[in-house]
Structure 1
Amino acid sequence: MGSRIAAMGQIPQRANVKRYTRQRKSELGMLLLASGITILAFLLASLGINSALPSNLIIVLVAMVALPLVVHIANLFLAPYADPALMPIVALLNGLGYVMIARLDPQEALLQGVWATLGVIAYISTLIIVNRSEILDRYRFLLALSGLLLLVLPLAPGIGQNINGARLWIRLGPVSFQPVEIAKLNLAIFFASYFIEKRDVLGAMGSRLSLRESLNIRILGPIATAWIASLLVMTLERDVGFSLMLFLVFIITIWMATSRIRYLFGGSILFVLGALGASNLFTQVNVRVTIWIDPWKYAQGIGYQIVQAQYALAAGGISGTGLGRGHPTIIPVVTSDFIFAAIGEEMGLLGTSAIVMAFLLIVGIGIRAALRAKSPFGSLIAAIFTMIIGLQSFFIMGGIVRLLPLTGVTLPFVAYGGSSLISNYILISILMRISDEGNRPDELENELKSRRSLLSRRAKTA
């Protein structure tokens, strides 16, 4: 009888093992497929440019296969129940971005390969350190303080750098870095933790929006704080993109935490006022709005970059000119700000549509992780991080096709940029952790909690 009960207790465990083994096998297959697509694209681009294979072919091919395999092994041991589709999509985006950068600037491609390796290391390190999403909630004030310090670090004399009118970089020896990329993650975690704790107070208003309630300090206070902070960032660092991202993350976070539409209403009013004021006060904002309205009028001056991007997209047509067969190098700063236009020229509408679909899939996976999260904090963090990826990709792609004014953000995982790549890998790592917790069977989760409680009691008695 006892052996039968023990066997019955092993059935769920065996089913769980089969479940996560099947998920990880699916992930491995999709990672290999993403590596195969990236290798094929790299070979086509090399043949299209020089009609010959590059001298560093073996090293590049090994790296394109090795990095995804390292990620898979890390997921197998550190996040076995996480969504199997997320990392293959990230690997595909990162791989295609590397191929396009290598086609445009081999020197930057070498650096991008180094940054991608560091990004994978940061991904694995985050999975090890953040073994539970609640750890982030515990250190929210430390994360907020570090986020604010990173935010103002480019203003420090000696290490801060002004590039193209924006003071966003710091230089430490030969390495330049944008600390605001990490700052946005720290601040997002603080926002989520704070609003989860204060959501009863912030959401205690009546369901109808009256003038008296809309002027309440509990509504306008937090929104006004974020609005002023974003304006200060825009004023001191001349960074339109991050200021916009900071404000939108704050507003949408408080809305998701409280389910009060009035926060979106009040935030929208402040956003419009801030945008109008910024367009009149700051030359950089005014220029971007001007060339968004009519870039052709300034085609030989400030509108040259966006006009060349339009020509590139038009030349690509449906299927593109072919990898290595176009002329995207005509576009200034094409590897970072306008890599989406380069993809449109050489891969056409099919290539750009694939990029858009990849980001939509990431957003869908992130929303599913948020819905399945075991805690309100984990759910809100997953939703915010998904929103950051979605908004950032929408802003830059919308700016290139002239749906929106250019904001200066980069296309996640695709564009050249070490700080952006590392911060996005950290973001995805935390999403994978929350997905792993949400998909983990309840009996296994309860067992892990019991073990942690036992270890905690032993540590206290010792």
Structure 2
Amino acid sequence: MAQQGALMGFVHRRRRGAELFLLVLALLVGIGAYVAVGLGVDQEVPANLFAYGGWLAALLIGSHVVIRLVAPYADPVLLPVVGALNGLGLAVIHRLDLAAEAEGKPHAFAQQQLIWMTLGVILFVTTLVVLRDHRVLQRFTYTSGLAAIVLLLLPMLPGIGRTINGARIWIHLGPFSFQPGEIAKVLLVIAFAGYLVLHRDALALAGRRVVFVDLPRGRDLGPVLAMWLVSLGILVFQHDLGSSLLFFGLFLIVLYVATERPGWLVVGGLLFVAGATTAYYLFAHVRIRFDIWLHPFDYYAAEQGGQSYQPVEAMFGMGWGGLIGRGFGDGDPFRVPYANSDFILAAIGEELGLTAVIAIIMMYGLIVERALRTALICRDGFGKLLATGLGSVFALQVFVVVGGVTGLIPLTGLTTPFLSYGGSSLIANWVIVALLLRISDQARRPVPQLSDDTTAIDSDATQVVKLG
């Protein structure tokens, strides 16, 4: 018993002091990058440094205080990593704003991003305060799924739906606009986890065995076929290749984790290949994405359409940046259109080099690792699948974005979490982190100790069994 108690005491340390120390390092990254931008571009420290740094510190330290109060056993690494990424993203967006201002096209994207970050942190705190037990979300399995479908359909409605850069994924309500798909991805994770925790036993039953792999039964293919059709619908009607890949890949990962059947990966892979092949031959916007990926320089010049101008300029910039980058102010990241959103990683690669890009990818890997660690130690099936799904959102999104920017896969149009400019994505990702912290707090809490009377009864019962 003493050894078990010592082990439990080691596993369930709160580690809020470690979180605070890491937050200080995260603030040094964000504020230091902001200062480096001012020195590199204007050769002086930004005049609003104390206001900016104070506001950023207030957001992160305030979040830390809330975690201490309402989720004391939560994972101590997630918030500092997210804070560092968000702070670095703000600095890079500010650098691009200064470049636009120098060309007579003033922008205030960094200021707007800080406002979005503030709203994201407010929702982060609200989620932690209101949601005291993640298992409550299981009651809203089908409600979340229905709400996600409605949100995905909203951009198709006339009047409020908008097509931007070829993708119809935006809705406009007065002066405000946002992507409902960012909220839908959170709701879909809740719906997937709630559905699969109830039906995983049936879905785990093996069907015909083919080459050492047990394929699922034909009668159980309904859910994966339905999600495949939804993903194809997003691709066909909204021209959003990124969300289509994200949602189908997310469902496939959670399904595999729930059933532990590799056959689902085989079926999902075949459906993906079939859908991608069909889309390539039937839809021009999919075909041009693949052709640009395979032959980018054939579409680079203006007389050739200039459709590959973004990825080619991004590759030029990252190649010029090399291992350690040109330094803030010495590169030309503004040559890439939408460098503050879709191609912010290319801007970082040009001015901070491959070293910074690798560090950023490792930070995303750390977020995913902490999410999967939370899933491993979680005591309930719904929490395990929910943490796995939320971690998979980051894994898939980063893979798709980094792969598209570096030319590993075709471009898809997703944003880089916490780095890219965009309010919908930033707010949704802060909520995801809050859910992960709530699950980890529940998982890391000490198991309630049994009373002395109960221990005595268990001891007597053990003795009776031994005598028998």
Q: TM-score normalised to the size of structure 1?
A: 0.90
Alignment of 1:121-140 (within 5 A): 121-140=122-141
Aligned residue in 2 for 1:459? none
Aligned counterparts of 1:112 and 1:69: Cα–Cα separation in 2 = 19
CA deviations over 1:233-274 (Å, ceiling 9, x no partner)? 111111111011111111121111111111111111110010
- The DSSP-based 3-state class of the residue aligned with 2:418 is coil
Asked if structure 2 preserves the Cα contact closer than 8 Å seen for 1:44 and 1:324, the reply is no
Judge conservation of contact 1:373–1:435 (CA < 8 Å) in 2: yes
Describe the SS at the equivalent of 1:443.
coil
Residue 207 of structure 1: CA displacement? 7.7
TM-score (norm 2): 0.89
Contact 2:281 2:287 in 1 (8 A): yes
Is the counterpart of residue 414 in structure 1 residue 419 in structure 2?
A: yes
Describe the superposition over 1:109-155 as per-residue Cα deviations: whole angstroms up to 9, x where unpaired: 01100000001011111112221111110111211111111111111
Tell me: CA distance 1:238–1:441, structure 2 relative to 1, closer, same or farther (3 Å). Answer: same
Q: Which residue of 2 aligns with 1:107?
A: 108
| 1:153-168 pair list within 5 angstroms | 153-168=154-169
Residue aligning to 1:184: 185
Report the alpha carbon displacement of residue 54 of structure 1 after superposing the two structures with TM: 2.8
Of 117-126 and 200-209, more deviation after overlay is shown by 200-209
Task: Measure the CA separation in 2 of the matches of 1:445 and 1:16.
Answer: 19
Q: Which residue number in structure 2 is paired with residue 49 of structure 1?
A: 41
* Alpha-carbon distance in 1 for matches of 2:282, 2:313: 28
Contact 1:209/1:262, CA 8 A, preserved across alignment: no
1:323 maps to what in 2? 328
CA distance in 2, matches of 1:18, 1:393: 30
Amino acid at match of 1:222: P
SS at match of 1:139: helix
The Cα of 1:278 is off from its aligned counterpart by: 1.2
After superposition, what is the alpha-carbon deviation per residue over 1:322-353, rounded to whole angstroms, capped at 9, x for unaligned?
A: 01221100001110000000000010011101
1:430 aligns with 2:431: no
How far apart in 1 are the matches of 2:11 and 2:209?
Answer: 50
Q: How far has the Cα of 1:15 moved from its partner?
A: 6.2
Q: How far apart are the structure 1 equivalents of 2:29 and 2:224?
A: 45
Would the aligned equivalents of 2:86 and 2:419 in 1 still touch at CA under 8 Å? yes
Report the alpha carbon displacement of residue 219 of structure 1 after superposing the two structures with TM: 3.2
Q: Which amino acid aligns with 1:310?
A: M
Q: CA deviation at 1:84?
A: 0.5
1:219/1:263 contact within 8 Å kept: no
2:261 alignment partner AA: R
1: CA distance between counterparts of 2:330 and 2:84? 21
Q: Which runs of 5+ in 2 are unaligned?
A: 98-106, 452-468
Counterpart Cα distance in 2 of 1:77 and 1:328: 42
Regions of 4+ moved over 4 Å: 14-18
Change (3 A) 1:445 1:354: farther
2:229 match? 228
The equivalent residue for 2:104 is none
Give me the whole-angstrom Cα distance separating, in 2, the residues matched to 1:353 and 1:414: 14
Aligned-partner residue type, residue 185 of structure 1 = V
User: Which residue is equivalent to 1:377?
Assistant: 382
SS state at 2:91 partner: helix
CA-to-aligned-CA distance 1:18-70 (integer Å, 9 cap, x gap): 932xx111101110111012111111111111112333322211112111101
Match of 1:63 in 2: 55
Give the % identical residues: 42
SS at match of 1:170: strand
Q: Distance in 1 between matches of 2:449 and 2:279?
A: 52
C-alpha deviation, 1:16, in angstroms: 9.0
1:392 matched to 2:384? no
Instruction: Determine if the alignment matches structure 1 residue 27 to structure 2 residue 6.
Output: no
Alpha-carbon RMSD across the aligned residues, in angstroms, is: 2.2
Aligned AA (1:418): G
> For structure 1, which runs of at least 5 residues remain unmatched after alignment?
1-7, 447-462
Displacement of 1:283 in angstroms is 2.0
The CA deviation string for residues 182-207 of structure 1, in whole angstroms up to 9 with x for no partner, is 10111111111111101111112258
- Say whether residues 1:74 and 2:66 are aligned partners: yes
